[in-house]
Amino acid sequence: MPAAGMAAVRITNPAGGTGRPPAADDLELALGLIAWGFHRTHENEVRGIAERVRDLATAIAASPDGSLPPGTVRVGTRSRGTVDVELIPWSGDRGLTRITCELAGSAVGPVPVVKGSPSAAALVISGLAAAMWLAGEGDADDRLALALSLEGLTAWYREAHRMTPARDAVHAARSHAADRLRDAGRVPPPCLAGAPA
């Protein structure tokens, strides 16, 4: 995040990958950032985050081409009040805030791991920015899977204790999306590869 209201996203897939399609790893990373943000947020602020995630999911589901209207994601700043988050091209320059999230191997499969100790707000904004970026990268099936996954993430934090591991929330969100698609008679797209049947 090079400046207030600006976000750049770069997702790279390591050599060898995780054995899943890159789109599945990309979705896992975006959901993981938001889940870690929920995890680190004070319980009095969880509802506000859930509303932001739900609003983004609705905008993504309604977008015919992945473009999102200005103001879809907003962030409060100290100097400029509340501003729209605008995606800008990744330049590699050092920003005011840099968030790194990687997929680490584990006994339960790849899990999102955040490097360092970024604030809950920075994690949520970076996750929302990553989801905005993903909306523009995929096709209509990918966008629907993304929107349903975001819906699943908010459902998880509405029902479960927010201090459960972020990987559990991501797993539940991906499962929710795959289940909703199967219930509608649709085949989950590759971005949901590995989601439980």
Instruction: Tell me which DSSP letter residue 3 carries.
Output: S
Q: Does the reported pTM lie above 0.85?
A: yes
What's the chain's average pLDDT?
A: 82
The percentage of residues in the chain with a pLDDT greater than 70, rounded to a whole number, is 78
CB contact at 8 A, 61 and 143: yes
Residue range 138-196, pLDDT digits in tens: 899 999 999 999 999 999 988 876 677 888 999 999 999 999 999 999 999 999 987 76
Instruction: Tell me which DSSP letter residue 188 carries.
Output: P
What sections of the chain are H helices per DSSP? 22-40, 46-62, 120-137, 140-159, 166-183
CB contact at 8 A, 36 and 114: yes
